[in-house]
Amino acid sequence: MPVFLDQMHREVDLPVWPPRRIVSLVPSQTELLFDLGLGDRVVGITKFCIHPVEWFQGKKRVGGTKTVNFAKIEALEPDLIIGNKEENEKAQIETLAEKYPVWLSDVSDLESAYDMMLRIGKLCGQSEAAKTLVDDIRRGFAPLLHAHLPAPRARVAYFIWRKPWMAAGAGTFIDALLRAAGFDNVFADRERYPEISPETLAQAAPEHLFLSSEPYPFAEKHFAAFREVCPEASIRVVDGEMFSWYGSRLRYAPAYLTSLQKAIFEQK
C-alpha cells in the first residue's frame, strides 16, 4: 500500500491508489479537487462546499466541516478523506481515522498552501495538474509581493465574527494575505482568532476595518457598531473567500487584493 505524509506529519496508508472514492471536508480543498480534474472520484462534500456549483448541487453532503455525519460517510465507503487541522474538529477526525485513511492539511501562509496543493496532487495521482496550478498562482502573486508601496503601510483590523467580535491574528492564512497585500494587521501580536473588546479595538486604532463576508456574513448594517468605536476608520466588507480559501481559488486572489490595495492607498 502506498504511504503518504500529510501536513500534520502523519503517515496515511491508502488501500487503493489513486483513490477512487474521496470525501472532502474542507470547501477550499473541495474546489481544488475539482480543478485537479477528479470528477466522479469525489463522492462526498460538506454543506459549505459551495464551489463548484455543479458539485454543490450534485454531490452527496456529509454534514458541516465541524458537524460530520458519520453514517453518511460510512454509506459512501470512502477510500480517502481529506480534511484540515483548523477547519475540522479533532475528535471527529480521530474517529474517522480509526476506520478510513484521513489526510490532513495545515495551512498558515502561501508557501504551506502551495505545499498542500502539490501534496494533494501527488496523493490523488494528479501531480502535473497540481504543479501547473501552483506555478500559475505563484506567477499571479509575484507582482503583488514585489510591489513598492508608499510608507507607512495601512493599518487594518480584519474581523471574522460578531457577538463576540473576533479578528484574525498571527498564524492565520488571513494574516499572511494581509501582509502579502501590503497591510499591517493591528492584531498581529495576538494568536489565531482573538476576541476583541471595544476597548481593545479603540486602543489598536486601525485606519481600516475589514469585515469579512464569511464565516460571519457582515454587511453595511453592522458598520454603525464599529464606527462608534473607531469613528475615523474606513469600514468595508471584504470577500472572505479571497482571504481564507487557500486552494485553487487563490488564482483569483491577486487581482482582488490588488484592487483592494489600490482603493486603500488612494485614500491615504
pLDDT digits (tens, 9 = 90+) for 181-211: 999 999 999 999 999 999 999 999 999 999 9
Confidence band for 152, pLDDT divided at 50, 70 and 90:
confident
Q: What is the pLDDT of residue 56?
A: 95
What percent of the chain stands above pLDDT 70? 98
- Mean pLDDT calculated for residue range 16-22: 96
Q: Look up the pTM and report it.
A: 0.94
pLDDT > 70? residue 267: no
pLDDT > 70? residue 151: no
Q: What is the pLDDT of residue 184?
A: 95
Q: What is the pLDDT of residue 166?
A: 98
What would the pLDDT profile of 120-137 be if each residue is shown by its tens digit?
999 999 999 999 999 999
Instruction: Give me the chain's average pLDDT, please.
Output: 95
pLDDT > 60? residue 82: yes
Q: What is the pLDDT of residue 145?
A: 85
Q: What is the pLDDT of residue 153?
A: 84
Q: What is the pLDDT of residue 146?
A: 80
DSSP code string of the chain: --EEE-TTS-EEE-SSSS-SSEEE--HHHHHHHHHTT-GGGEEEE-TT--SSHHHHHHSEE-B-SSSB-HHHHHHH--SEEEEETTTS-HHHHHHHHTTS-EEEE---SHHHHHHHHHHHHHHTT-HHHHHHHHHHHHHHHHHHHT--PPSSPEEEEEEEETTTTEE--BTSHHHHHHHHTTEEETTTTSBSS-B--HHHHHHH--SEEEEESSSS---GGGHHHHHHH-TTSEEEEE-HHHHH--SGGGGTHHHHHHHHHHHHHHH-
Q: What is the pLDDT of residue 147?
A: 76
Q: Which long-range contacts (CB under 8 A, 24 or more apart) does 119-122 make?
A: 119/4, 119/5, 119/6, 119/7, 120/29, 120/32, 120/33, 120/36, 120/82, 121/36, 122/4
DSSP code string of 219-235: -GGGHHHHHHH-TTSEE
Domains in the chain: ranges and CATH? 3-141 (3.40.50.1980), 154-267 (3.40.50.1980)
Q: What is the pLDDT of residue 264?
A: 86
What would the pLDDT profile of 90-102 be if each residue is shown by its tens digit?
999 999 999 999 9
Q: Is 213 left (phi over 0), alpha (psi -120 to 50) or beta?
A: alpha
CA distance 251 to 257: 11
Confidence band for 40, pLDDT divided at 50, 70 and 90:
very high
Tell me if 257 sits within 8 A of 180, measured CB to CB.
yes
DSSP code string of 25-60: --HHHHHHHHHTT-GGGEEEE-TT--SSHHHHHHSE
Show the 3-state SS of 106-118: CCCCHHHHHHHHH
CA distance 90 to 84: 9
